[in-house]
Chain A
Amino acid sequence: MIKTGGLRKSFRTRKGRRTTTVEAVRGIDLAVGDGEIFGFLGPNGAGKTTTLRMLATLITPDGGDAQIAGADLRKEPGEVRRRIGYVAQGGGTWPDVSAHEELVLQARMYGIGKADAQRRATAAVTAFQLTDYADRKTKTYSGGQRRRLDIALGVVHDPRVLFLDEPTAGLDPQSRASVWDEVRRLRGLGMTVFITTHYLEEADALCDRIAIVDQGRIVAEGTPDELKREIAGDVVTVGLNGSTPQAAELLRSEPCVHKLELRDEGGLRLYVDVGATAIPRILRALNHSGVELDSIELHRPSLDDVFLTKTGRSLREQ
């Protein structure tokens, strides 16, 4: 649905008399499948928004090319515009106009006829739970209501691909969850959704696949689970009622355990590929030899661990 090759963009900025060139995006190659929620995860200034604005035809790439929903970004930007929806980070609604009026105009700007535009606006108001304030001016909306309207505006023409730039930045947890629900609902309708985010939890919970970007480059790509497994697999901690050496010996010979450490506070730390399948094996092995188990816990490496190993910095500290 989206395929890019070597997408590049640099900006010239002036500081006093000196002009410096900032390479915002330095060669992005990615492929997004049909019906995927694809996450572009990275710190502020990583080039996420610049990439998105290139894909949405707002700025011209310096180099590279892209195919979006079957249209060529460079040769037929008009066709790309018709097939995509784009929701900027700050939205973009007139303060003195109602949600219903905005939705009608948006549909009309995509060339949709008057009657059809009215029908779509009414349907979108219902689908995005805006019914109670559909005729109020958007300046009276809360952050969450406005965000839902922004997304509704992005999809009123039924695009095949939806681009969302930091869709939940600055939202309270409840509104964030409601935005996630909307995005999942859109995927359920067969839409491909490309979102940028700097929230680890969001990338983890919402996205089917993620590309981690840093300084204008993709440093890792895969499903959230794949990415985390690529680091160290899972971590299983086992609490024991004594007989720790015996258990250690036993588990060391278990093929699913890569590495084993004795914990300072007692018990063992086991590094495994997939915790979900390793735990039953560990339990069985311990059970067979009569070692008494106190507790067992599965820890999964977070996306922050992934970011840390790829870039040497933590995303949380950004």
Chain B
Amino acid sequence: MKLARDTWLIFQRNMLLVVRTPIWVAVGLAQPIVYLTLFAPMLRKALIAAGGPTTYAHAYLVYVPGLLVAIACFGGLFAGFGLLAELRAGIVERTRVTPVSRTALLLGRALRDVATMVFQAIIITILAIPFGLTVPLGDVLLAYLLFALLTLMATAASYGISLHVRNEAALGPLINTIAQPVMLLAGVLLPLALAPLWLKRVADWNPFFWATDGMRALFAGHIGDPTVWQSLIIVAALTVLAVAWSAREFAHSLR
């Protein structure tokens, strides 16, 4: 199938670039460690103050799934930055003159981001185990699927936005403006159970909120919890939309 073949071509090239940039590999490994060691102790104190769970193991069960959603959102939404350099270098134009599938131009890149971020997610999970995190394998694999979909949704949206806003100076603030409230309303750092009612109603409209809930249920071993299938369906549907829109942007004639 042409789409699969072309996607694989673009994916391979983009993975090659990742491997050739050692700084990226170092940052990719350092980031999760920093997140885990710096924030979890604070969260435990905060949860105690709120009358919630008190052990590190409990804190990690709340924090790790939230951290994964945050990485998918921020890492994904900022993925488009890399595209700006390729646009300026004429690489996107060069590939667009070939008969290569336009959807592959998006998917090859987005799946590179998904692959690297899933790699980070696995490192985070493994690093949290010595602190007492325990998750059944089946549940965590489903959590990774949810994470991968979430990442694909965010990166696809980011590439689409970057093709419109071709300017680093404008893109950074724009993405921050989107990502910050989305993250706060997803309850990634503090569960929204602590939030006032009106904030919860607003959060109902945030796909990342559903993803956080589903992710936490999976990490808690509640695979039958309705939030699991609900979050998977919501995120999958939005991922399809984001990919379709962004692929159209790649196909569209832009100046």
Binding site for B on A (CB under 8 A): 11, 56-60, 78, 81-82, 84-86, 88, 90-97, 101, 105-106, 108-111, 153
Contact between A106 and B99 (Cβ–Cβ < 8 Å)? no
CB-based contact A82/B99 at 8 Å: yes
Residue of A nearest to B6 (CB): A109
B9 touches A105 (CB 8 A): yes
Given contacts A58-B93, A90-B89, A90-B90, contact A109 B99 (CB under 8 A): yes
Residues of B within 8 A of A58 (CB): 93, 96-97, 253
Q: How far is the CB of A150 from chain B (nearest CB, A)?
A: 9
User: Known: A109-B9, A110-B98. Is A97-B255 also a contact (CB below 8 A)?
Assistant: no
- Size bracket, chain B contacts: 20 to 34
CB pair A95 B89 closer than 8 Å = yes
Task: Give per-residue flags for B20-43: 1 if the beta carbon is below 8 A from chain A beta carbons, else 0.
Answer: 110000000000000000000000
Smallest CB gap from B101: residue in A: A109
Tell whether B116 is near chain A: CB-to-CB under 8 Å: no
Contact with A96, one of B21, B93, B96 (Cβ below 8 angstroms): B21
A97-B97 contact given A59-B255, A108-B9, CB 8 Å threshold: no
Chain B min CB distance to A186 (Å) = 17
| Interface membership of B248, Cβ < 8 A | no
How near does chain A come to B20, taking the closest CB pair, in angstroms? 5
Q: Is the CB of A97 within 8 A of B16?
A: yes
> What 5 A-B pairs are tightest by C-beta distance, nearest first?
A92-B90, A92-B94, A109-B98, A109-B100, A86-B97
A92 touches B91 (CB 8 A): yes
Q: List 17 A-B contacts (CB under 8 A).
A: A58-B93, A82-B99, A85-B97, A90-B90, A91-B89, A91-B94, A92-B89, A92-B92, A93-B91, A94-B17, A94-B86, A95-B89, A96-B20, A106-B98, A108-B9, A109-B98, A111-B2
Task: Please tell me if the beta carbons of A81 and B90 are within 8 angstroms of each other in the complex.
Answer: no
Interface membership of B180, Cβ < 8 A: no
Residues on B with beta carbons closer than 8 Å to the beta carbon of A95: 89
Does B13 sit at the interface, judged by CB under 8 A? yes
CA distance A60 to B20 in the complex (A): 37
Q: How far is the CA of A97 from the CA of B20 in the complex (A)?
A: 9
Q: What per-residue 1/0 map shows which CB atoms of B79-107 lie under 8 Å from chain A?
A: 00000001001111111111110000000
List 6 other contacts, CB 8 Å, given A94-B86, A109-B9: A86-B94, A90-B90, A92-B94, A93-B89, A97-B20, A109-B99
Q: How far is the CA of A146 from the CA of B255 in the complex (A)?
A: 24
| B98 surroundings in chain A (CB, below 8 A) | 81, 106, 109-110
For the complex, what is the distance from the CA of A154 to the CA of B246, rounded to whole Å?
Answer: 27
Contact A59 B17 (CB under 8 A): no
A195 smallest CB distance to B (angstroms): 16
Please indicate the chain B residues that have their CB under 8 angstroms from the CB of A88 in the complex: 90, 93-94
- The residue of chain A having its C-beta at the shortest distance from the C-beta of B12 within the complex is A105
Do A96 and B17 touch (CB < 8 A)?
Answer: yes
- Which one of B20, B86, B90, B254 has the greatest number of beta carbons of chain A within 10 Å? B90
User: What's the nearest-Cβ distance from chain B to residue A155, in Å?
Assistant: 13
Contact residues in B for A108 (Cβ distance below 8 Å): 9
**How far apart are the CA atoms of A95 and B90 in the complex, in Å?**
11
Q: What A residues does B95 contact at CB under 8 A?
A: 92, 109
Closest to B19 in A: A96
Max chain A Cβ within 10 angstroms of own Cβ: one of B21, B99, B100: B99
Q: Are B13 and A94 in contact (CB under 8 A)?
A: yes
Q: Which residue of B lies closest to A78 (CB)?
A: B99
Are B97 and A56 in contact, with the CB atoms below 8 A?
Answer: yes
The chain B residue sitting closest to A108, CB to CB, is: B9
Q: How far is the CB of B23 from chain A (nearest CB, A)?
A: 12
Distance between Cα atoms of A97 and B14 in the complex (Å): 10
A11 proximity list for chain B (CB < 8 A):
255
